[in-house]
Amino acid sequence: MKDLKNYIDQNRNRFLEELFSLIRIPSISSQEEHKEDMIKCAHRWKELILEAGADRCEVMPTEGNPVVFGEKQIAPDAPTVLVYGHYDVMPVDPLELWKSNPFEPEIRDGKIWARGADDDKGQSFMHAKAFEYMVKAGQLPCIVKFMIEGEEEIGSKSLYQFCETHKEMLKADIILVSDTGMIATEIPSITVGLRGLSYLDVEITGPNRDLHSGLFGGAVANPINILCRMITSLTDEKNRITIPHFYDDVVEISKEERSLMAKAPFSLEDYKKAIDISDVHGEEGYSTIERTGIRPTLDLCGIWGGYTGEGSKTVLPSKANAKVSMRLVPNQDSQKISDLFQRHFESIAPKSVKVKVTPSHGGEAYVSPIDMVAYKAAEKAYIATFGKQPVPTRSGGSIPIIAGFEKILGIKSILMGFGLESDAIHSPNENFKLEHFLKGIETIPYFYSYYAEMMKK
Q: Which of residues 244-283 bind its own copies (CB under 8 A)?
A: 275-283
CA R_g for the chain: 23
DSSP output for 406-432: HHHH---EEE---B-GGG-TTSTT-EE
What is the Cα 343 distance to its own chain's centre? 28
From the CB of 353, what's the least distance to its own copies, in Å?
Answer: 8
Stretch of residues binding its own copies (CB under 8 A), selected from 17-25, 40-48, 55-63, 302-310: 302-310
Contacting its own copies within 417-436 (CB under 8 A): 421, 424-429
Task: Name which of residues 199 to 218 contact its own copies (CB under 8 A).
Answer: 199, 201, 206-218
76, 311, 387, 410: which one binds its own copies (CB under 8 A): 311
108-147 residues in contact with its own copies (CB under 8 A) are none
Identity of the residue, 262 or 280, whose beta carbon is nearer to its own copies in the bound complex: 280
How far is it, in rounded angstroms, from Cα 366 to Cα 338? 18
Q: How far is the CB of 223 from its own copies (least distance, A)?
A: 9
Q: How many residues bind its own copies (CB under 8 A)?
A: 104
From the list 72-80, 87-95, 127-135, 251-259, the region that binds its own copies by CB under 8 A is 87-95
Cβ closest to its own copies, residue 260 vs residue 277: 277
Out of 266, 356, 360, 453, name the contact with its own copies by CB under 8 A.
360
Interface residues for its own copies in 153-172 (CB under 8 A)? 153-155
Q: Among 90, 373, 403, 441, indicate the residue that binds its own copies (CB under 8 A).
A: 90
Helix (H, G, I), strand (E, B) or coil at 162: helix
Q: How far apart are CA 376 and CA 370, in angstroms?
A: 7
Task: List Cβ neighbours of 450 (8 Å cut-off, separation of 6 or more).
Answer: 376, 377, 380, 381
| Contact range with its own copies by CB under 8 A, out of 36-44, 138-146, 396-404, 409-417 | 396-404
DSSP characters over 209-239: S-EEHHHHBTTB--HHHHHHHHHHTTB-TTS
Nearest distance from residue 397's CB to its own copies, in Å? 3
Rounded to the nearest 10 degrees, how much is the dihedral formed by the CA atoms of 440, 442, 447, 448?
120
Quick check: helix, strand or coil at residue 371? coil
CB 342 within 8 A of CB 202: no
Q: Among residues 12 and 323, whose Cβ is nearest to its own copies?
A: 323
Q: Which is nearer to its own copies, 83 or 224 (CB)?
A: 224
Q: Is 346 among the residues that bind its own copies (CB under 8 A)?
A: no
**Which 7-66 positions form the footprint of its own copies (CB under 8 A)?**
29-32
Let me know: does 141 contact 379? Beta carbons within 8 Å: no
Q: Does 183 bind its own copies (CB under 8 A)?
A: no
Piece in contact with its own copies (CB under 8 A), picked from 128-136, 165-173, 315-323, 383-391: 315-323
Of 61-69, 312-320, 384-392, 404-412, the segment contacting its own copies by CB under 8 A is 312-320
> Helix (H, G, I), strand (E, B), or coil: what is residue 380?
helix
Least distance between its own copies and beta carbon 32 (Å): 7
Q: Of the candidates 351, 371, 410, 457, which one interacts with its own copies according to CB under 8 A?
A: 351
Q: What does the alpha-carbon distance between residue 139 and residue 445 come to, in Å, rounded to a whole number? A: 9
Rounded to whole angstroms, the Cα distance separating 227 from 17 reads 48
84 DSSP β-pair partners: 147, 177
